[in-house]
Structure 1
Amino acid sequence: MSDSGKARGPREQISADERRKLLVAAALRVMKRDGIAAASTRAICAEAGMPHGAFHYCFHSKKELYAALLASDIEIDLGAAWPHISPDADPVENIRTLLMAFWSQIESDPDGQLVLFDLGSFALHDPELQELPILEHAASLDKASEYITRLGAEARLEFLQDERILAELVLDILNGVAWSWLSHRDNDLARQALERFATLAATLVRKAPDTTT
């Protein structure tokens, strides 16, 4: 059990949201180590250092836990990349900056990425869970669209295609590169693919007119 999963003292109080986060993290660790099938509610609580009853205090069902796990795939923080986005930079450079910031976090946890792919496939084969990948994809599309809109504003770019369509394209490329990378684990090859995509994506934008003069 990792340090984050150690049992807490009886006087230490944590919020329900924090408990949920700890259980999601514990579930991911169990799945990475032992597989999805091994991630029983009891095993997850033991990994988190919590009593078994804590699971049902935080989640109504394992379906709700799976939804939280799949949602974690879109919670990558690009905060450190935005200061490097500049209207004076070439569009391909700005696009590359965001792609590489996103990819570096995927690259740092291949086992976690594999679990999320496996969990999505697992859900698609279960009639009670089939809606979860659909909802996760919609949320990912929303997030990607937000990034594209912000990129346009901060880099002063106009898009030559609908931003929602561009967001779908970005997701398809990232998922495809991630899946290939999980097979070959060649970091340089994956980054080269994203470099080429950045060049291609830059042909779908143009500099917005400078309205400050």
Structure 2
Amino acid sequence: MEGPGMTRVPSDERRAALIQAALAVIDRDGVSAATTRAIVAEAGMSLASFHYAFRSRDEMMRELIAFVVANEKRVTLAAVAPGTDIRTAVRAGLQAYFDLLVENPQREQALFELMNYSLRTPELDAVPAAQYASYFAAAGELLEYGALATGVTWSRPVQEVARILIAINDGYTLAWLADRDAVAAGRLMDFAADTIAALARPARPSPRPATPQEPQP
């Protein structure tokens, strides 16, 4: 526990510790239990430490979402092998996300709970839109990387493809959380990979510069 005379913790480390504490509380007790007092108790900090690190609970929830999404994006990007076809790349990315889900189902369940809780909580009413904006942005980055790695372009704006991907992803995530049927989830991921790959087309090769003519004698 922090106290007078103890070494001051740098702000970024304090924020990271509070994010980890909030995730621990949410994973264990649910979003409604993640009060500022519960979070600082989990982190072994004072209540003043929370307000030193974050302006509000809303700000902390936004950073928590950004942390989780960044981790999922990192894992998914690592699964995309350059030189493969787009369908294989999309399927590999979906599988990487699903493996992360199976490893820690409470984390995704907490994010769904956070959105629903925020929709009913005036002080957090801006969180759901920010949450899904971060999902769409991450999916867009992944799709752009996948297109570059596999030599395709998207036939629709990448923002639209990202929304389709997130909608399907949400569907099989919720279904798996409900029934834990990995085989059914695998079939849905196959469908998602087929659907997204159907929106890709080969990239046009860059035009080669004209060869300079030899000077006439």
Q: Is the 8 A contact 2:32 2:117 kept in 1?
A: no
Length, aligned pairs only:
204
* Closer, same or farther: CA 127–43 of 1 in aligned 2, 3 Å: closer
Aligned to 1:3: none
Runs of 5+ consecutive residues of structure 1 not aligned to the other structure: 1-6
Q: Which amino acid aligns with 1:93?
A: T
Q: Is the 8 A contact 1:26 1:48 kept in 2?
A: yes
Residue 208 of structure 1: how far off its partner (Å): 1.9
Q: Is the 8 A contact 2:18 2:40 kept in 1?
A: yes
Aligned to 1:135: 130
Higher alpha-carbon deviation: 103-112 or 159-168 = 103-112
Larger Rg: 2
After superposition, the CA RMSD in angstroms is 2.3
Percent identity of the aligned residues? 31
Structure 1 residue 157 corresponds to structure 2 residue 155: no
Residue 26 of structure 1: how far off its partner (Å): 0.7
The within-5 A match list for 1:24-103 is 24-75=19-70, 76=72, 77=74, 78-82=76-80, 84-86=81-83, 89-103=84-98
TM-score, length basis structure 2: 0.84
Q: Is the 8 A contact 2:77 2:93 kept in 1?
A: no
Runs of 5+ consecutive residues of structure 2 not aligned to the other structure: 209-217
Aligned to 1:202: 197
Q: Which amino acid aligns with 2:45?
A: M
State how far apart, in whole Å, the 1-side matches of 2:164 and 2:50 are. Answer: 37
State how far apart, in whole Å, the 1-side matches of 2:187 and 2:151 are. Answer: 26
Aligned to 2:211: none
The within-5 A match list for 1:103-142 is 103-142=98-137
TM-score, length basis structure 1: 0.85
